[in-house]
């Protein structure tokens, strides 16, 4: 069963593949249904920014000699699923 947001309740979802999580908790789905499209878009954007910033911080800590340009390039590659 899929709702208008394309969210599948956990009880009816397909088995998870190793390394992939695509199931939205039913309580989270209910909260998201109560938000406007603009609010959901803002939340998605904030999640993307957080992931980008945390990944950059990870690369900075692991590779202190990398330039900011190299860090940003590696972040972009990782987020785009490109091989390094």
- Tell me: the pLDDT tens digits for 15-32? 656 666 677 888 999 999
Number of domains the chain is built from: 2
Residues 23 and 43 in one domain: no
- Tell me: the pLDDT tens digits for 25-83? 889 999 999 999 999 999 999 999 999 999 999 999 999 999 999 999 999 999 998 76
3-state DSSP call for residue 80? coil
Residues 29 and 58 in one domain: no
For every residue of 7-62, DSSP letters joined together read --BGGGPPPPPTT---PBPHHHHHHHHTS-HHHHHHHHHHHHHHHHHHHHHHHHHH
Residues 83 and 51 in one domain: yes
Q: What is the CA radius of gyration of the chain?
A: 17
Residues 17 and 42 in one domain: no
Residues 80 and 66 in one domain: yes
Crossing angle for the helix pair 68-79 and 37-62, nearest 10 degrees?
130
> What gap in Å lies between CA 17 and CA 19, rounded to an integer?
6
Residues 66 and 80 in one domain: yes
Residues 42 and 17 in one domain: no
């Amino acid at each position: 069963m899929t709702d208008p947001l394309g969210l599948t309740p956990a009880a009816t979802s397909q088995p998870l593949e190793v390394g992939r999580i695509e199931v939205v908790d039913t309580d989270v789905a209910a909260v998201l249904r109560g938000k406007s499209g603009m609010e959901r878009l803002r939340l998605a954007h904030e999640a993307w920014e957080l992931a980008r910033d945390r990944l950059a911080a990870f690369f900075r800590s692991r590779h202190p000699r990398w330039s900011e340009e190299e860090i940003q390039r590696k972040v972009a590659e990782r987020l785009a699923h490109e091989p390094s």
